[in-house]
A and B are shown apart, each in its own frame.
Chain A
Amino acid sequence: MLAIARQRILGQSFQKIRPAVSVLRSYSSAAKQITVREALNSALDEEMSADPKVFLMGEEVGEYQGAYKITKGLLEKYGPERVLDTPITEAGFTGIGVGAAYYGLKPVVEFMTFNFSMQAIDHIINSAAKSNYMSAGQISVPIVFRGPNGAAAGVGAQHSQCYASWYASCPGLKVLSPYNSEDARGLLKAAIRDPDPVVFLENELLYGESFPVSDEVLDSSFCIPIGKAKIEREGKDVTITAFSKMVGYALKAAEILEKDGIYAEVINLRSIRPLDRSTINASVRKTNRLVTVEEGFPQHGVGAEICASVVEESFAYLDAPVERIAGADVPMPYAANLERMAVPQIEDIVRAARRACYRSVPLAAAA
């Protein structure tokens, strides 16, 4: 069970000036706590020092120390040739990154939020994702696109969309979404070492949260396999799948459900594409009920794909229809109370799990 230290999370994390924690010091004590921000920073630092072909590109990654301070200290360490502040030209600099990757460099392109990746999506899909296929394996694109994804706090419709299902539907891309510091470190290091284009979806509200990490995680060769989900909490009554911030909500929901005698199994997807269908199906075959949780829009979302996969492979094992929890089917409103209703909350997950277990509450309570 993870003990999550709650920190005061500001709508934007500009004011958090955290000292860059050096994770190369060895510790004899047990669980050390690091924030997701420190985890990402240390992962970038280590990969850049290990391989001179790795470089960073994006808006405000250098002198501003990163719009969310993820790249803090890297400009001083590696210089302006390897940490590039770009003008506001997403299409342009994404294309430049892809071109560099064609020739063997390993760019890490930062989008200030993934909403801005829409200005560059032609390069992500057509130039990066499809190249290996179109060239019959001659050109591989070892590029990483990273940045915050999904809803923040009060930032309006154009800054709050979740792009997991958009990118995950495209063959040729790997799509990862970490939850805690261990995920952040391991998956980012794996992504940078990977020879294929990776879309790395972080979450702005998780940057400041601390999680305990073992010494193994802090080691510089640590990385997590791509395409494998993690069972964060074992259970026997209902399976709850989630990724990114929703994993935290699902874990809290599981604690609440435990009091009612419902033992939920929480799966942290980690990898949206390739999706770990075998872990999900094995879990559903054990519990016989499934609740999928995501922050994005419901139609054609990640939950829809998981539901289809389970129905195809484990239909006989299902004892109840699959429950899908997703964001409201509207652009994100600005008013605080409407925004709270537009994003899944812990109560929604609890209610859905109870429905899956007892079918006593009518389906889909409308707003």
Chain B
Amino acid sequence: MATAFSAAKFTAQPFPLNPASTTSHDSSIVFAKPTSLFLGSTRKLRLTSYSKFNLSRRSGTVDAVSDVVKQKKSKSSPSLLITKEEGLELYEDLVLGRAFEDMCAQMYYRGKMFGFVHLYNGQEAVSTGFIKLLKQQDSVVSTYRDHVHALSKGVPARAVMSELFGKTTGCCRGQGGSMHMFSREHNVLGGFAFIGEGIPVATGAAFTSKYKREVLKEADCDHVTLAFFGDGTCNNGQFFECLNMAALWKLPIVFVVENNLWAIGMSHLRATSDPHIYKKGPAFGMPGIHVDGMDVLKVREVAKEAIGRARRGEGPTLVECETYRFRGHSLADPDELRDPAEKAHYAARDPITALKKYLIENSLASEAELKTIEKKIDEVVEDAVEFADESPVPARSQLLENVFADPKGFGIGPDGRYRCEDPKFTEGTAHV
């Protein structure tokens, strides 16, 4: 297995040390020759019809994607990547993410939400592009910036909003909060506050999927796990440990890096010796791909390939999505260190406007249809707020609930049921 990264010819340019002068990042998917190996081949950047002609300063080379995607692309250049239904579905999800987060900001400043709230504005393309390709049984593991991941995966907006308000009808009954969104039904495994904490958890979920197929003989179990995390996390030890094990055991996982260049106030370039995160994949024996995370269609193409790989049992993939958060790290972050020129640059590449333009130019949808969707989403979000407002706060008795799965903490008896359910069990005796 070719894990050695052949000495590559890089077209790398020197990195600007001043983070503020980082320019555009229109990198696109690059395709290998059909005969070359998946790993270890490098090509110069080639640009697709969507992106502007601006060689990125940040990414010199990009690793290859498979032949399947290449053939699809090379058929007819202006071939459409999505059908009308898919387009509308993507648009609706993007708008839901944006509208929801904007409403969160409003509610926070009105005092309905409290604590730490981290908003996802600007990064919607990554969530929509990846999660809309998943089945219900596939899992998503995220960080504290998890509202939109939960929404894309199918958790109702009402449940998320109630959770943020701290009401008992929230998806975690008000016990988790903004940073800890869990849903068994939709397989959203959190919601972790600690950087890097979700990655081993996601790797474990992928391990379970493989185990079910191979050990428990559920032959059709092909569940995939997506782990979302940021650029700051890529310097953390847990990230590298999991890349190693996922590649070693060929786990069905996709590591999605949402590289928005900033970890609170620490620029990615100031914190990382080699800022090309996708390059760290091949070092562990998995493909590393770099994609423009502001364009939902590009993300979707890469996601299809990566998720397909995982489903077929070919192992993990590391996908670095260049994206940007329009707001600060959290609602309490004054956001003083980011250059306004950088912010303006990315605001011009808003994923929602880009998709809207694509849909209209390619006659997939009319303005009116898109407006209808926007109105519908506005109503959904308003309804979520009303629902959350009217929901009750948790009862006093809820404080001590859910600490253990076992109701009284006495364990399981020889008959396989909880001991406390056995009428003959008395707490005081040592002999049962």
Interface residues of A (CB under 8 A from B): 10-12, 14-15, 59-60, 63-64, 67, 85-89, 91-92, 115-116, 119, 152-159, 328-331, 333-338, 341-342, 367
Query: When chains A and B are docked, how far (Å) is the Cα of A10 from the Cα of B177?
Result: 18
Q: Is B174 touching A333 in the complex (CB atoms < 8 A)?
A: yes
CB-CB nearest in chain B for A367: B399
Pick the contact of B177 from A89, A330, A334, A341 — CB < 8 Å?
Answer: A334
Question: Pick the contact of B114 from A119, A154, A157, A338 — CB < 8 Å?
Answer: A154
Query: Does B270 lie within 8 Å of A85, measured CB to CB?
Result: yes
> In the assembled complex, which residues on chain A have CB atoms less than 8 Å from the CB atom of B233?
88
B245 within 8 A of A: no
Q: CB of B333 within 8 A of chain A?
A: yes
**Residue B364 CB within 8 A of the other chain:** no
Q: List 7 A-B contacts (CB under 8 A).
A: A11-B116, A88-B271, A154-B115, A159-B179, A334-B115, A334-B178, A335-B167
Report yes or no: B194 in contact with A64, Cβ–Cβ below 8 A: no
| Of listed A89, A328, A333, A337, residue having the most chain B CB within 10 A | A333
Task: Point out the residues of chain A lying under 8 angstroms from B195, CB to CB.
Answer: 88
Please give, as numbers and ranges, the residues of chain A lying within 8 Å of B264 by CB-CB distance.
59-60, 64, 67
Cα–Cα distance between A156 and B265 once the two chains are bound (Å): 22
B166, B271, B403: the one within 8 Å of A334 (CB): B166
For B316-336 the 0/1 string (1 means CB < 8 A from A) is 000000000000001011100
A341–B396 touching, CB < 8 Å: yes
Contact in complex: B333, A14 (CB < 8 Å): yes
Within 8 A of A (CB), among B153-182: 163, 166-168, 172, 174-180
Add 6 more A-B contacts to A63-B266, A67-B264 (CB < 8 A): A11-B332, A59-B264, A158-B180, A328-B399, A338-B398, A367-B397
B403 and A331 contact, CB distance less than 8 A: yes
Measured CB to CB, the closest approach of chain A to B233, in angstroms, equals: 7
Answer whether residue B103 sits at the interface, using C-beta atoms and an 8 A cutoff.
Answer: no
Q: Are A60 and B394 in contact (CB under 8 A)?
A: no
Which A residues are CB-close (under 8 A) to B334? 14-15
- Nearest-neighbour CB distance to chain B for A129, whole angstroms, equals 21
Is B399 within 8 A of A154, CB to CB?
no
Q: Using known A-B contacts A11-B115, A331-B403, A342-B399, determine if residue A336 contacts B179 with beta carbons closer than 8 Å.
A: no
Name the distance in Å between A218's Cβ and chain B's nearest Cβ. Answer: 29
CA distance A119 to B399 in the complex (A): 28
In residues 235-251 of chain B, which contact A (Cβ within 8 Å)?
A: 235-237
- Judging by beta carbons under 8 Å apart, are B332 and A10 in contact? yes
Check if B193 sits within 8 Å of A88, measured CB to CB. Answer: no
Majority SS at the chain B contact face: loop
A156 and B232 contact, Cβ closer than 8 Å, known pairs A10-B332, A64-B265: no
Q: Contact between A335 and B115 (Cβ–Cβ < 8 Å)?
A: no
Residues of B with C-beta under 8 A to A334: 115, 163, 166, 172, 174-178, 180
The answer to whether A85 and B271 touch across the interface, beta carbons within 8 angstroms, is yes
Please, how many angstroms separate the alpha-carbon atoms of A152 and B177 in the complex?
14
Within the complex, which residue of B166, B333, B397 is in contact with A335, where a contact is CB–CB below 8 Å? B166
**Contact pick for B116, options A88, A89, A156, A335, CB 8 Å:** A156
Q: Could you tell me which B residues sit within 8 Å of A by CB distance?
A: 114-116, 163, 166-168, 172, 174-180, 192-196, 232-233, 235-237, 263-266, 270-272, 330, 332-334, 337, 393-394, 396-400, 403
CA A88 to CA B266, docked complex, whole Å: 9
Contact yes or no, B266 A158, CB < 8 A: no
Q: B232 to chain A: closest CB distance in Å? A: 4
Alpha-carbon separation in the docked complex, A67 to B330 (Å)? 12
- Residues from chain A with a CB closer than 8 A to the CB of B168 are 335
When the two chains form the complex, which single residue of B174, B194, B265, B397 contacts A158, counting CB atoms closer than 8 Å? B194
Instruction: Specify which chain A residues have a CB less than 8 angstroms from the CB of B397 in the assembled complex.
Output: 367
Interface centre among A59, A119, A156, A157 (most CB of B within 10 A): A156
Assembled-state Cα–Cα distance A89/B193 (Å): 15
Chain A: CB-nearest residue to B167? A335
Q: Report yes or no: B115 in contact with A87, Cβ–Cβ below 8 A.
A: no
Residues of B within 8 A of A14 (CB): 332-334
Chain B residue numbers with a CB within 8 Å of A330 are 399-400, 403
Q: Do A153 and B396 have beta carbons less than 8 Å apart?
A: no
Q: What residues of A have a CB within 8 angstroms of the CB of B232 in the complex?
A: 87-88
Closest 10 CB pairs of A and B: A154-B115, A334-B177, A64-B265, A335-B166, A335-B174, A154-B114, A87-B271, A87-B235, A158-B193, A12-B332
Closest Cβ of chain A: how far from B63's Cβ, in Å? 24
Query: What is the distance, in angstroms, from B374's C-beta to the closest C-beta of chain A?
Result: 31
**Cross-chain contact B332 with A333 (CB below 8 angstroms):** no
Partner of B175, one of A85, A87, A89, A333: A333
Contact: A338 with B399, CB < 8 Å?
yes
A61 CB to nearest B CB, Å: 10
Residues of B within 8 A of A59 (CB): 263-264, 266
The docked-state distance in angstroms from the alpha carbon of A85 to that of B119 is: 24
In the bound complex, residues from chain B placing their C-beta under 8 Å from that of A88 are 195-196, 232-233, 235-236, 263, 266, 271
Is the beta-carbon distance between B237 and A336 smaller than 8 angstroms? Answer: no
B237 touches A91 (CB 8 A): yes
B399 close to A85 (CB less than 8 A): no
| Given A14-B332, A328-B400, residue A64 in contact with residue B271 (CB < 8 A) | no
**A-side contacts of B196, CB under 8 Å:** 88, 119
Alpha-carbon distance between A149 and B232 when the two chains are bound, in angstroms: 23
A116 to B232, CA, bound (A): 15
A153 to B177, CA, bound (A): 12
Q: Which chain B positions have C-beta within 8 A of A333?
A: 174-175, 394, 398-399
Report yes or no: A158 in contact with B400, Cβ–Cβ below 8 A.
no
The answer to whether A155 touches B115 (Cβ under 8 A) is: yes
CB distance from A327 to the nearest CB of B (A): 11
The one of B180, B236, B266, B393 in contact with A157, judged by C-beta atoms closer than 8 angstroms, is: B180
A334 to B235, CA, bound (A): 29
Do A367 and B396 have beta carbons less than 8 Å apart? yes
When distances are taken between beta carbons in the complex, the residues of chain A under 8 Å from B175 are: 157, 333-335, 338
